[in-house]
Structure 1
Amino acid sequence: MISENIESYLKEHEHKGLLRFITCGSVDDGKSTLIGRLLFESKLLFEDQLAAIEADSKKYGTQGSEMDFALLVDGLAAEREQGITIDVAYRFFSTDKRKFIVADTPGHEQYTRNMVTGASTADAAILMVDARYGILTQTRRHSFLMSLIGIRHLVVAINKMDLVDYARERFEAIVEEYREFARQLGLTDITFIPMSALKGDNVIEHGHHMPWYHGPTLMAYLETVAVDDQRHQQAPFRLPVQWVNRPDLDFRGFAGHIASGRVRPGDAIRVQPSGKASTVSRIYTFDGDLDEAVAGQSVTLLLDDEIDISRGDVISGADSPAQTADQFETTLVWMHEQPLLPGRPYQMKLGTQTVTATVSDIKYQINVNTLEHAAAKQLELNGIAVCTLSLSRPVAFDPYREVPDTGGFILIDRMTHNTVGAGMLHFALRRSQNIHRQPVDVDKPARALAKGQKPAVLWFTGLSGAGKSTIANLVEKKLHAGGRHTYLLDGDNVRHGLNRDLGFTNADRVENIRRVGEVARLMVDAGLIVLTAFISPFRSERQMASDLVEADEFLEIFIDTPLDVAEDRDPKGLYRKARRGELKNFTGIDSAYEAPEAPDLHIRTTEMSSDEAAETIIELLRERRLID
């Protein structure tokens, strides 16, 4: 009997349209209460859930006989204890007219990144505003993010009207203030609804407290607002390849979720970024072949030609293929406690593509209250900026406004694998289309052969005063005496010329190592054995330098000297200046040093002399067959 009821329920809702929407706004604006009431009014709560809400309402301090519907959504214990939502809670409910998936997103500024996650797949948004406090900074921030993400339908729900005596004047004042701000963002499809989520006014029914309001209830709006499925289906065809399906020699298909457009057997396609062309022969699914597939469907395409396609490629309609580039203007939302530093490499996920990305320049940061543009050298948590983004190789893309799935991306920290940023591609920079690599006849192998050696980078890292320059100099002397062609890049010497414009902030340290890494790469290409002696305090930048050359061409050598020993040596008097506060951002004192986790060689200077350390390094080079 139960299974029959479930089957009947599923059939009843199978063919209804689906609306995905989010609730957002500032802390304690009533988002979770609203969603709880929607679930309650749609009769989708079981008796044990209702009993639990009643018990928890008493436990967590709800006054009077009213149930605290927020407790239904605030499922995490931490949320109930703090009284705030800290994660995105997804809930399903249905009415006679439509199915809904709602994301209750966090209001606290610290969790803005979660709001971006919830908004990325939404068709509409409910922006909650507490009638007592009006438009707050977080209200503006969430509005700005919605305009960036491209949410087209917005309800501004002015909640807790019961706490301002249902005053029409208060409602109209908030409407006027928000309209002025929304005009600057280009938000036009806005519906304002005064309500009390706790009391139920204008949620499902109008109620009798606000006879002056003649607009729709929230539920009436949600049941009738247009969903933009047609817009995605009418856009150019895009299928980011997730998987190459080849169970046998006779079947080779390319599986993925259609991001936009439609496709039929016989359609001409182009694969980006390679630019190779073919024709669709079959559209395969688990339930059989299709005559047509549209945006939102997951399919496997078979092609007439055997062309090289792999995960991350984008299959496009031949008449309007995706663009390819490796440099972009983008809007970036920073979502991590550690600031964004230009020049630092991150992993970028764009659809099914993964590449190394670097923010080469922050053009300006955006003040979410005034929308003014301000200069910035780094981006802090929840900061929003227009940036220049450089990638390690060209990728297939569309401007985010045209196809969100191939224009929206996330940045991932390469050391911790945390998601640290999210962004939207605007357009490719002209120089990315106009600059091409010039082929040369004399290449690295030819230069190395002429010198009779294998090129490499010996990257010395450690605290100031550890002995990096001393040991590197001894190693170079031994190599030079053996007839090797070398060059030593020393931290202090480089700052007299190439990097004389850089200071010692974290951002400048990142740029310092980026430049040195690029110079070292060029010298390796020239066939040299390059020695670098830099503090290079951050693992991420040392990894960046390593990634610029072949895996067997980079040796990380950790010159490990305890801080107290290095400070006692203090050959340049820098530690004494730092202790007196005369030298800011000094590594080991008021700036962190991230020791290598798995260096190729770990030299403990308290256990061997500089000459012994140099000889140990020479032995490693022989072991690695870098020298005879």
Structure 2
Amino acid sequence: MATCNPETQSAPDIRDRMNIVIVGHVDHGKSTLLGRLYADTGTLPEGKVEKIQAICKQQGKEFEYAFLFDAFLEEQQQGITIDTARTFFQWAGRQYIIIDAPGHKEFLKNMVSGAARAEAALLLIDALEGVRDQSKRHGLLLSMLGVKQVTVVVNKMDLVGYRQDTFDSIEKEYRDFLGQLNVTPQFVIPASAKLGDNIATPSAHMSWFTGPTVLDSLAEFSSETAKTEKPLRFPLQDVYKFDARRILAGRITSGRLKVGDRLICSPSNKTAVVQSIEAFNIEPPPAQAVAGQSIGITLDEQIFVERGEVVSHETSLPLVSTTFRANLFWLGRRPLEMNKQYLVRLGTQEVECQVSSIHRIVDANDLSLADQEQKTSVQRNEVADISIRAKSPLAFDLYTQFETTGRFVLIDNYDVAGGGIITEMVQDREGTLRVEAQKRDFAWVQGDVTLADRAKHYGHRAALVLLVGPNATGKTFLSKKLESLLVAEGRHAYMLDPENLRRGLDADLHKEEALEFVRRYGEVARLLVDTGLVVISTTNSFHLPADQAIEAIRTLVHPTPILTAYMSKDAQEPLIEADLSFTGPEDFTTSAHEILEALKRKGILAEALGNQPAFQFSI
């Protein structure tokens, strides 16, 4: 075996770096493979191999390459600048960082929390033992972490006489298993880490195998694109107001932007052009900014956006939905429970949510599969494949594509109780309408008068007030009273009764076409709120469950604020979540004034108007 001393060579040209994880049963040769990789790539200091060989001879035991790894790791742990969970070696112009952790639990925790991210994996199987349950669990682990680049190393081929039929059988069985997890190994390689077969050089004992060596297979893996070269992701941290200027601030997590770029804010679909880039203590202001920079931007127009929006270019938008599938590592003192209220924190977004489904659970301590029958909770230190449904739409990406916008934490009673990575977008009930609204908003032809101009002129923002609840509870009477009070105060308000649409615009629709009726209603409401109106309406004529109708309307008019008021015949609990609730019909004037106060608390209405509307437009 040839080793080289890095200190005596010129500094290698390191083009990029890659994080890899090596997984396998404790007896399948993981440490031996690592020791062999360090030795064969010249990573070890000069004389290290000979030193360990001499120690083995003194102690009367056979030399093992695993001893090299153990000694190398021990030396690195003595340094103060090296993370003990990571070691590295260099090969063919790339530095490979080995992500290792003392146990599955720590590794999974680090992966889902963002402390480490494996871009690729080597998965070991003992040729003598074949595919074991632990091998399958490790495949499941990689699948749950979204690691798609995998080389399977069938190790210890020397113990089975380098037989091709043994290798072929293991390869077929394991490829079939990984296929069920949607994982396709790029390579399956017969090897002997102990003897060096197919590690750095082709094996003379297995001429029947014409594929790459283990090191060559690593060179075939694709490194994550440099963050500056990826599409733009700019989560908004805050919106600062300075007189007439509004600065959207945050940190660019990937990509780049420049003055003159047209940007899209998700999930609101609001769009504007970058007018300037603000950076702390930099003069003159820069013309562009790239990933890693914390900046502020001003736009060519004032748009309704707030913290949590994800800014991107139109050519590569994030996903938007209320529902996504994820792999979660649970650390909470209390079990994670289905249908319990949690707070999901995703980038700079924070939204109430529930776990709507628990698909699969793995015990992180030993990777054993928990009893999957009718699981409604996840215990501490378990990893779960779950679906999460948020109260309002979220902008996100799959973790395998964008790390920052594909990772989240769950908050339970103010404590961070779990971390996870997003594996799939789940199309929610409003998905089709959301796409429609997105296409419509991108192509919206706008006049010279903006919503901000109208808000300053009218003394209020546009909004939609929805009165919901059973029939014969006085919703229409309250709508009329509220409209009268708003107009009497000098506000621009309009009562939109769905029955008026049914007799005109929707005269061609039948009762069973309820969803189309709601869609058309939402588009009409969108036009009205674009004029700056406060629109008041009921849901009497929708022929859909109230919560479904509200979410469809919310999707079509987003991000216009919606205030909901639930009216019932007696003092019963509202059947849906609402901002206000009334028992009626009783005193409509008092109820209308309560709605006015709620609109002021939401920042929609300014105080009572005089001759000068002194309304300070806020986001």
TM-score by length of 1: 0.55
SS in 1 for 2:34: helix
Which whole-Å CA distance do the structure 2 matches of 1:298 and 1:202 have between them?
Answer: 44
SS in 1 for 2:377: coil
Q: Which deviations, in whole Å up to 9, do the C-alpha atoms of 1:516-537 show, x marking residues without a partner?
A: xx98998995599xxxxxxxxx
Paired residues for 1:160-559 under 5 Å:
160-229=156-225, 237-241=232-236, 252=247, 254-259=249-254, 263-281=257-275, 298=293, 300=295, 302-305=297-300, 312-318=308-314, 321-325=317-321, 327-336=322-331, 339-362=335-358, 375-380=374-379, 387-399=386-398, 403=402, 405-414=404-413, 417-419=416-418, 421-430=420-429, 439-440=466-467
Q: Does 1:156 align with 2:152?
A: yes
Q: Which deviations, in whole Å up to 9, do the C-alpha atoms of 1:221-264 show, x marking residues without a partner?
A: 2223333528x8887532224577999999956342434x5544
How far is 1:276 from its partner?
A: 3.4
How far is 1:280 from its partner?
A: 2.6
Which whole-Å CA distance do the structure 2 matches of 1:417 and 1:429 have between them?
Answer: 26
Residues 270, 189 of structure 1: CA spacing in aligned structure 2 closer, same or farther, 3 A cutoff? same
The amino acid across from 1:277 in the alignment is T
CA contact (8 A) 2:49 2:68 kept: no
Residues 109, 256 of structure 1: CA spacing in aligned structure 2 closer, same or farther, 3 A cutoff? closer
Residues 421, 169 of structure 1: CA spacing in aligned structure 2 closer, same or farther, 3 A cutoff? same
How far is 1:202 from its partner?
A: 1.9
SS in 2 for 1:269: strand
Paired residues for 1:582-593 under 5 Å:
none
Which whole-Å CA distance do the structure 2 matches of 1:247 and 1:163 have between them?
Answer: 74
Residues 334, 302 of structure 1: CA spacing in aligned structure 2 closer, same or farther, 3 A cutoff? closer
Residues 208, 330 of structure 1: CA spacing in aligned structure 2 closer, same or farther, 3 A cutoff? same
Aligned match of 2:538: none
SS in 1 for 2:168: helix
Aligned match of 1:65: 63
Aligned match of 2:26: 27
Equivalent of 1:128 in 98, 113, 124: 124
Which whole-Å CA distance do the structure 1 matches of 2:325 and 2:234 have between them?
Answer: 22
How far is 1:93 from its partner?
A: 2.7
CA contact (8 A) 2:125 2:155 kept: yes
Aligned match of 2:98: 102
The amino acid across from 1:24 in the alignment is V
CA contact (8 A) 2:112 2:407 kept: no
SS in 1 for 2:378: coil
Q: Does 1:142 align with 2:138?
A: yes
Which whole-Å CA distance do the structure 2 matches of 1:62 and 1:428 have between them?
Answer: 64
CA contact (8 A) 2:99 2:116 kept: no
Residues 113, 399 of structure 1: CA spacing in aligned structure 2 closer, same or farther, 3 A cutoff? closer
Aligned match of 1:573: none
Residues 191, 437 of structure 1: CA spacing in aligned structure 2 closer, same or farther, 3 A cutoff? farther
Residues 268, 224 of structure 1: CA spacing in aligned structure 2 closer, same or farther, 3 A cutoff? same
Residues 128, 421 of structure 1: CA spacing in aligned structure 2 closer, same or farther, 3 A cutoff? same
SS in 2 for 1:220: helix
SS in 2 for 1:44: coil
The amino acid across from 1:332 in the alignment is N
Residues 75, 116 of structure 1: CA spacing in aligned structure 2 closer, same or farther, 3 A cutoff? farther
Residues 280, 292 of structure 1: CA spacing in aligned structure 2 closer, same or farther, 3 A cutoff? same
TM-score by length of 2: 0.56
Which whole-Å CA distance do the structure 1 matches of 2:235 and 2:51 have between them?
Answer: 44
SS in 2 for 1:179: helix
Residues 421, 406 of structure 1: CA spacing in aligned structure 2 closer, same or farther, 3 A cutoff? closer
CA contact (8 A) 1:141 1:369 kept: yes
Aligned match of 1:606: none
Which whole-Å CA distance do the structure 2 matches of 1:70 and 1:243 have between them?
Answer: 47
Aligned identity (percent) is 29
CA contact (8 A) 1:22 1:118 kept: no
CA contact (8 A) 1:332 1:421 kept: yes
How far is 1:34 from its partner?
A: 2.6
Point out the more displaced range, 200-209 or 212-221: 200-209
How far is 1:192 from its partner?
A: 0.8
Q: Which deviations, in whole Å up to 9, do the C-alpha atoms of 1:528-574 show, x marking residues without a partner?
A: 9xxxxxxxxxxxxxxxxxxxxxxxxxxxxxxxxxxxxxxxxxxxxxx
Aligned residues: 435
Q: Which deviations, in whole Å up to 9, do the C-alpha atoms of 1:17-76 show, x marking residues without a partner?
A: 3333222233343334433432333333346977996799799x9941334134147659
Which whole-Å CA distance do the structure 2 matches of 1:250 and 1:13 have between them?
Answer: 47
Which whole-Å CA distance do the structure 1 matches of 2:212 and 2:114 have between them?
Answer: 25
Paired residues for 1:78-89 under 5 Å:
89=85
SS in 2 for 1:146: helix
Residues 71, 308 of structure 1: CA spacing in aligned structure 2 closer, same or farther, 3 A cutoff? farther
Aligned match of 2:510: none
Paired residues for 1:9-48 under 5 Å:
12-13=12-13, 16-46=15-45
Which whole-Å CA distance do the structure 2 matches of 1:56 and 1:106 have between them?
Answer: 26
CA contact (8 A) 1:366 1:373 kept: no
Residues 58, 98 of structure 1: CA spacing in aligned structure 2 closer, same or farther, 3 A cutoff? same
CA contact (8 A) 1:135 1:174 kept: yes
Residues 431, 271 of structure 1: CA spacing in aligned structure 2 closer, same or farther, 3 A cutoff? closer
CA contact (8 A) 2:238 2:249 kept: yes
CA contact (8 A) 1:103 1:118 kept: no
Residues 33, 382 of structure 1: CA spacing in aligned structure 2 closer, same or farther, 3 A cutoff? farther
Residues 220, 129 of structure 1: CA spacing in aligned structure 2 closer, same or farther, 3 A cutoff? same
SS in 1 for 2:138: helix
The amino acid across from 2:251 in the alignment is G
How far is 1:142 from its partner?
A: 3.1
Residues 225, 111 of structure 1: CA spacing in aligned structure 2 closer, same or farther, 3 A cutoff? closer
Which whole-Å CA distance do the structure 2 matches of 1:129 and 1:383 have between them?
Answer: 25
Which whole-Å CA distance do the structure 1 matches of 2:117 and 2:107 have between them?
Answer: 18
How far is 1:164 from its partner?
A: 3.7
SS in 1 for 2:337: coil
Residues 192, 405 of structure 1: CA spacing in aligned structure 2 closer, same or farther, 3 A cutoff? same
CA contact (8 A) 2:248 2:297 kept: yes
Which whole-Å CA distance do the structure 2 matches of 1:370 and 1:180 have between them?
Answer: 19
Paired residues for 1:561-572 under 5 Å:
none
SS in 1 for 2:26: coil
The amino acid across from 1:267 in the alignment is D
Measured on the aligned residues, the alpha-carbon RMSD in Å equals 5.2
SS in 1 for 2:416: coil
CA contact (8 A) 1:413 1:420 kept: no
CA contact (8 A) 2:407 2:422 kept: yes
